Amino acid sequence: MQKLQGIPVSPGVAIGEALVMGSEGFRIPRRFVERDAVEAELERFEKAVQASKEEILRNREQVREKLGDEYAAIFDAHLQMLLDRRLHDEVVEMIRDRHYSPEYAVSRVLRRYAKVFESLENSHLAERANDIVDIERRLLRNLLGRRREEIGQLTSPVLVLAHNLTPSETAALDPRFVRGFVTEVGGAGSHTAIVAGALEIPAVVGMGPFLREVSGGDLVIIDGDRGEVILQPDEATLEHYQRAVEANRSLAEQLAHLRDVSAETADGVRIELFGNIEFPHEVQHCLDRGADGVGLYRTEFLYMGTEGEPDEQVHFEAYRRVVEAMGDRPVVIRTFDLGADKVATSWRREDERNPFLGLRSIRMALRNLELFRTQLRAILRVSALGNVRIMFPLISTVIELRQAKMVLADVMEDLEESHIDFDRQIPVGMMVEVPSAVMMIDHFMPELDFVSVGTNDLVQYTLAVDRDNKEVASLYNAADPAVLKLIDMAVQSARRFKKPINVCGQMSSSTMFTMLLLGLGLRSLSVIPAAIPEIKRVCRSVSIPQCEEVAARALTLENARDVETLLKEELKKALPEPEAA
């Protein structure tokens, strides 16, 4: 058993078979074979070895013709490894005696050899680990043939283990079959992490190199609460986590009765709880949890993983589904926040050294006016069907806000001339995500109907921490006093101007921060749908004076660790045992 530590980004516990995603993206279809199938499986393995041998020989000759004998010798080394008698016999023994499938046996044996080579001090020998991995992929490719299964075509439950998953790859995961995922890279505030929360599957990122420690088909546990990943757990550990899965299920059932009651504090103050969504189907998750509306409808998914750009009707249909499902409840649609880690396939820029400081979000929208206008037309059209609000992301200057509003006004004129119905009084808001927006917040307020604090980017830009960089992940912390003071400034300004304000980043979805946010003056929170019952439970267990005292103490502290300690202690004191359903 191995226990590894990463960064928790989506809560819950998942137990299951590993699907190790290398550059080839192989799925090992099964771990064991029936006793009477062993001879046939051994024959299949021998055929794969022969096919791999022939491929290597062809590659060797092609390289010899183009580059000479020196480079062709690389394939001689591969051939020698492939035909190594000890390696061959170990695979055969696993198939014959343990009834492992050839795919699983090949992966187990070759990954163990690769790990041994990697541990050698001799750098030349250590590099041979890559050669062994190449042989593993070659054998698997020949074993699996047409049965090779891609991540988007799964038919049975797995836990996905990968070096990295792009936001579009994560968005393509089917939660019916992908019960959780782990990546070697990534940070707490990455868009991949956000999508994991939207899919409501446990996820851990920033693990560092570990994929060679595990083979496809291995039993793995993902603890999305603590950021732990356990490879090949022993019986005691497995039983412990199986009890944890059952406890989580029981807690969810006990909190289900909160769906139809309001998030009202113990002293009678009504708190609005909205849902953050990424995909149209998530509107049902919001309804199932009793959300007061959709506080943040991210629209990037329409652009991710596609070669072309979505047209106006594609936008309209995606928004209509959510707006109609929500009825009279508000739906805040954020215009596209592309760039940085959220890049459409056709927009990739290789020359951006600092993409989080580059052409992204509202900056990209104002550079691509036709694209921006297409989305605005669809949002305005759908505003005729329900309670729709529009929100601009990553506004850093008053001029940017005015430019965005001018484009919106221009689109409104076009729709009026075409006699297309829309809400002429549609509320317009902006995300507060950069320190400059907070420092100038009093200048923004007269131009807006509402504001929403996006803590994921606010933390990143305030602390100068790349939220996707594992090396500085420990510095990315929403509990940092600098972040708290900026949120406090934004809330105080909204109060002076009598404008609605909420928090919609990952911070608002954590029960640890609920008392703090209420104490700072927030009366509206937008959270991932799965978090609504627990956030509601906290709200109903505390009073506003109690929360104000916690916030006042937090604002006097000088580091994130002390703030977290305070918040955890106060939450533990305030929160009762879950009520019986």
- What are the residue ranges of CATH 3.50.30.10 in the chain? 2-26+150-250
- What are the residue ranges of CATH 3.20.20.60 in the chain? 266-574
What is the SS3 assignment for 82? helix
> CATH second-level architecture of 266-574?
Alpha-Beta Barrel (3.20)
- Give pLDDT tens digits for 157-187: 889 898 877 666 676 778 888 899 998 887 7
Looking at this protein, which amino acid is placed at residue 223? D
What is the dotted CATH code of the domain comprising 2-26+150-250?
A: 3.50.30.10
How high is the pLDDT of residue 141? 83
- Catalytic-residue membership of 191: yes
- Catalytic-residue membership of 78: no
Q: What is the DSSP letter of 200?
A: T
- Give pLDDT tens digits for 525-576: 999 998 999 999 999 999 999 999 999 999 999 999 999 999 999 999 998 6
Whether 304 shows a pLDDT value over 90: the answer reads no
Q: Which of 191, 286, 315, 539 is catalytic?
A: 191
Question: Which residues touch 536 (CB under 8 Å, ≥6 apart)?
Answer: 255, 258, 261, 263, 273, 290
Domain at 35-147, CATH from 1.10.260.40, 3.40.50.10190, 3.90.1150.10, 1.10.274.10: 1.10.274.10
User: How does residue 352 score in pLDDT terms, banded at 50, 70 and 90?
Assistant: low
How high is the pLDDT of residue 358? 81
Rounded CA gap, 295 and 387, in Å?
12
> What's the whole-number average pLDDT of the chain?
87
Give me the residues paired with residue 227 across strands: none
Angle at 191 between CA 468 and CA 221, to 5 degrees: 80
- What are the residue ranges of CATH 1.10.274.10 in the chain? 35-147
Q: Nearest 10 degrees: CA dihedral of 465, 469, 474, 477? A: 50
Q: Which of 285, 286, 315, 504 is catalytic?
A: 504
User: How large is the average pLDDT for residues 401-423?
Assistant: 97
Angle at 204 between CA 431 and CA 357, to 5 degrees: 35
Whether 512 shows a pLDDT value over 60: the answer reads yes
